[in-house]
Structure 1
Amino acid sequence: MIINSEDRISIIDLLDLNERFRTGAYVIKEEEVTVIETSASPSIPRLIEGLEQMEISLDRIKNIIVTHIHLDHAGGAGVFLEKCRNASIIVHEKGARHLINPEKLEAGARQVYGKDFDRLFHPIIPVPPERVIIKKHNEHLQLSPDSTLTFLDTPGHSRHHFSIYDNKSKGIFTGDTAGINYGYILEGEALYLPSTSPNQFNPEEMLQSLALFNELELERIFFGHFGISEEPAKVLTEIKNWLKIFIDTAIRITKENKPETQLPALAEALKKEVLNSDNRLRGNEDFLRLLDLDMKVSAMGLLDYLKKNHSKKEV
């Protein structure tokens, strides 16, 4: 499925994990055709199909940008690059080496996902170093004479994360730093939650990145999960508010539970906090399925953070 297929910026729903409105690739149609995010390798056929529907040949792709190297954003970058002979991969300086040699990235993911790894992520193809471009904080990429992307170092979700400001749309591609937008799966109901997955989640750094977004002249946010919001001030406020709720809930659960029961207890507690915020959320099975997955992953990151920072009491 393609959203805004006739616009300068279109979204291809990659059906990540076979779920609608889960992960999207953005296609910017300028002199240098640019794709932002690839998702995992099983999603690449859907990305290519979407480009074909918009009559964009793979030879026209010039830039493939990944906001960070988590596999649901960049796992398919190597596979896609093999098919785009004129393209380069643009990545954060702390993520480049893992695209060039993904052995550690794959080994870590196999530990987490076990027997499900191949179904979800295989294969992970190394990216040739000569086709990797590193972008640092405040560096630019010119797509056409009046179209410039600016790269901003935005840790919090991960240390190898940048966000990309687009001057023409006055929008920013935030990957996971500004959280998850559930508005599409909820058919227009706004809900924005932080993404606190392991193992580099840091709430202080996330708040600093949100403050950086607040300083920009923003009219929209382009989420990795999923789609576009044209209420950036509300997004940033809600992510900040929910981040405090997530941290406070995690601290309470660690005090009330033994280590072996903390993860399921925290995932359930986070889900309860979200559902209690709006009773209308309980009737959407597609949303509940995604929420269950996201709260388990966020709980893992919160517990990992608290374990590394024993003295943390609040954000």
Structure 2
Amino acid sequence: MQDVIAHPDGIYAVDSGYGRPQLAAIHLIVHQGRAAVVDTGTNASVPRVLAVLAKLGVAPAAVDWVMLTHIHLDHAGGAGSLMCALPNARLLVHPRGVRHMADPSRLWEGTAAVYGAERAFELYGRIVPVPAERIVPARDGDEIDLAGRRFRVLDTPGHARHHICIWDETARAFFTGDTFGLSYREFDMDGRAFAYPTTTPTQFDPDALHASIDRLLSFAPEAMYLTHYSRVTEVERLAGDLHRLIDTQVAVAQAARGGGVARHVEILAGLEQIVREEAARHGWTLSENDALELLRDDLELNAQGLGVWLDSLRVAEPETV
């Protein structure tokens, strides 16, 4: 497993060190001696980013932007600590995320509700606030400049309402966070990637996610840079798989009976069956147990997110006489 992967167009994927090797990538873009960072990993990821910048000959003062696709802590937990080390950088984040970066207390509470407070602290440590004057709201259509290299912000809800994707005109590629799913390199078969949608708590919206994926495709991208894990091509094929698997997961959730733990267990079992079917479809060389183990945490979070989505539908349903 490589800690740093050099991609075309001055893009580098840095392993954040979160969880296991090549689970979560931090992307660095180096252009004309300046740099930008897309997603930050956790507090523990900060030394890794600084070490790679030093190896590339980029001083911390030459980093102009830290761009967050969204504020889930595996993507944004290290933002405050990293900004302390990058004196000239501005933090780009969805408008819904601005206050949470300036005051991360509610963000922490939401994460602790998912993982439990003790486990959340083990994963992420203390979340450092970012001074409000260094935060730039990322509104749909905004353009960002890095030494003449242009980036465009797209508001892409579905995985979360505070999610953006970032279009890199030079690379003809998007930095997609979780909107274009996850694609672990262990599942690659003869260079063909596998992508799986993430429905994690608490803001999954299948219709919005379908629309966001289609909007990304409208740019005819040559590649996508996913946080989990880095560069994929064959974008149209993977988008088709994502659309199909979003609908399949939704169908599993809608078929689940009851509520609470029993419903969660049933949804999780259905998601595991989807993985088995995908293994047969793609001809993975991984054993069934190895495939399920690689996706274990993702399937658990997806099941939680689908449950929250089901509950939101019931709250929204009008009363009938």
Instruction: Give the TM interval when normalised to the shorter protein.
Output: over 0.9
Secondary structure at 1:39 match in 2:
coil
TM-score (norm 2): 0.91
Number of the residue aligned with 2:159 = 157
What are the ranges of 5 or more consecutive residues in structure 1 without an aligned counterpart? none
1:292 aligns with 2:291: no
Kept in 1, the 8 Å contact 2:279–2:288? The answer is: no
Between the aligned partners of 1:310 and 1:107, the Cα distance in structure 2 is 24
Please tell me whether the aligned partners of residues 145 and 151 of structure 2 are also in contact (alpha carbons under 8 angstroms). Answer: yes
List structure 1 runs of 4+ shifted beyond 6 angstroms. none
* Contact in 2 for aligned 1:282/1:288 (Cα 8 Å): no
Question: Is the counterpart of residue 204 in structure 1 residue 197 in structure 2?
Answer: no
- Identity value in percent: 28
1:49-128 correspondence to structure 2 within 5 Å: 49-114=51-116, 115-128=118-131
Is the counterpart of residue 215 in structure 1 residue 236 in structure 2?
no
Give a deviation string over 1:64-115, Cα, whole Å, max 9, x none: 0001111010011000000111111111111111000001011121222221
Choose the corresponding residue for 2:194, options 186, 191, 196. Answer: 191
Give a deviation string over 1:4-33, Cα, whole Å, max 9, x none.
17851111011212x111111111111431
The yes-or-no answer on 1:130 pairing with 2:133 is yes
Check conservation: 1:28, 1:35, Cα contact below 8 A.
yes
Residue aligned with 2:31, SS? coil
Query: Which residue of the partner structure matches residue 21 of structure 2?
Result: 20
Unaligned runs of 5+ in 2: 317-321
Instruction: Letter of the 2:77 partner, please give it.
Output: G
How many Å separate the matches in 1 of 2:193 and 2:9? 23
2:319 aligns with none
Q: 3-state SS of the aligned residue for 2:295?
A: helix
Cα offset, 1:286, TM superposition: 6.1
Q: Residues 186 and 284 of structure 1 are in contact (CA less than 8 Å); yes or no, is this contact kept in structure 2?
A: no
- Structure 2 residue 304 is the aligned partner of structure 1 residue 303: no
User: Are 1:21 and 1:185, in contact at CA under 8 Å, matched by a contact in 2?
Assistant: no
Amino acid at match of 1:247: V
Tell me how large the CA RMSD over aligned residues is: 2.0
Match of 1:234 in 2: 237
Matched, 1:11 2:13: yes
